[in-house]
Structure 1
Amino acid sequence: MFSNPKPNDEKEGKILVATQVIEVSLDIDADILFTELAPLDALVQRMGRIWRRYGPVSKETAVDDKSNIFIWVFENGLHSGKSYIYETDLLLLSLKLLKDKSDEQKNQKTQIIDIKNWYSNLKVNRDKNTTLISSTIHEIFPQEQTFEFICSEYEKYELVNRLYDSELLAESKYLKTFFKTRDVLDAGYMSDHKNEAQKMFRNIYTIMAIPSSRKEEFIVSIKRYFNNQHNIKNYTDFKKNVLAEFVLQIPWRQKVGTARVIDEWLIYLDDIERENKKKLIRWCQGIYIEDGDYDSERGFLKKKEGLDDIIKIII
């Protein structure tokens, strides 16, 4: 076990091995990340767990310029697992966008490549005896086995936007599922749409929730945060000092009908200025209040038919 954050006087290095849970709201700060390939938005989430102690106010000299994020790409299947967690199109396009960003910095000029045409041509012109994955790997890595580049926060934002461009993914299974899901949500997620929606959402493993037993404590913490005249009122600070203390990740399948969206009652809070309340509601979107309690040793204790159901979580 190790302390998080690491004490300033600690010299011993430690290794944390984790699954995709590392992408969600875990308050950890590491120096180096080794990860397998994933869609760009997932990669950016993982990158967000690196050097969190360096923020906008940090001096440039305080940040090391050595590579600290390493993305592994497996030639046969892209990743080490037997089953596909992510759609192949998303993985291959993410890899291509990363390579283009590296080439752009290496050539010291901006080059806008038509990714859609590149990918379409690759599908059409590849050797019939070669898989799409192998063709893409050999296209991206003709000689070099590695490539690297420096990526700013804004560049990460741009890369994710390019990946999910509607034209780029127009024919992909991912985008078709997205629009189908949106239509179900627009229809109200009720009656005959409910079963269909549940099928679509079966791969959503966790939701963000606050145990109902800590609701009043959460309210006190919110008011203390916004009434403090000295702290910085931004989402990063609010997440670190308030949400991280109360929000848990619980299995979506374990969510019962008693779960309530948190912003439904935030609008009725007193003693918070109007503009701050707008920020608060925006920052808390997607968080639920779930009937139950939290035990530091046993995890989240969900109330169900009068019994406590223990759900193990990582905090």
Structure 2
Amino acid sequence: MTDIITEQATAAASGAAATERFRGKQRTGAADADTRRVDTLVSELLTATHEIIRRHKVTYAEYDVLKSWLIQVGEDGEWPLFLDVWLEHAVEEVANENREGSKGTIEGPYYIPDSPRLPAEAKLPMRESEEGTPLLFQGQVTSVDGTPLPGALVEVWHADNDGYYAQFAPGLPEWNLRGAVVADDTGHFWIRTIEPAPYQIPTDGSCGRLIAAAGWHAWRPAHLHLKVSAPGHRLITTQLYFKGGQHVSDDIASAVKPELILDPGPATNGDGREVTYDFVLDKA
């Protein structure tokens, strides 16, 4: 199953897909930005960079390597990957520092809107021969005051057993392991899927060259991605990890938080594992 994917899931292809998806999002344009904020942020970024150059006596040879690498990041289409791996976690912390409800974390570059709508008891779309340990992921969505949120939307997406995402690697069905589950009248949901695998971020492009040059590893721990929303409440974007999993303690994206670690047990039906995790949404 993995031979074709392994041969063709290159950084260039994955990066280009992530870049194209990002361009399709509606974002606030630079024309709407507060010029004072732009001045402050860019000036401080440049000042910090200048201080690093002076403190470490950066040479022209190193400077030229940096320029070449920055150009190549763009040509590889890896700016979304670079920013989501190394910067987004700090932006997320600031954006959600005043939340009372569930913890959030980074979205990452592989979210696709408008995934298939599924009932509260659902099985994510998957291949008939989908590999991986079956997982029942269940829980309830409530408001911060404990009120159940009927019809809450639980969007979930994750990598397969080989670490690949549908629509970002060849050979996978369009909506493989992606779905939007509508909770029942009490806010409960039951989602059947498979446990994803840890995976390396693409290493055959510019980000991979940075990782190799710095002697870092390129791994993300296995995780479920989720966006949970309900009318009158703030959407939460998060990821859930697995206790004891590889790289939970040294995620390259620095996105793991203690509150986001699942501890599944044996499934009551004897098939795989199951876990309960509830979501608490802040009021808008």
Which bracket does the TM-score occupy, shorter chain normalised? under 0.3
Name the structure with the higher helix share: 1
State which structure, 1 or 2, has the greater radius of gyration over its C-alpha atoms.
1
Name the structure with the higher strand share: 2
TM-score by length of 1: 0.25
TM-score by length of 2: 0.27
Higher relative contact order (CA 8 A, sep 6+): 2
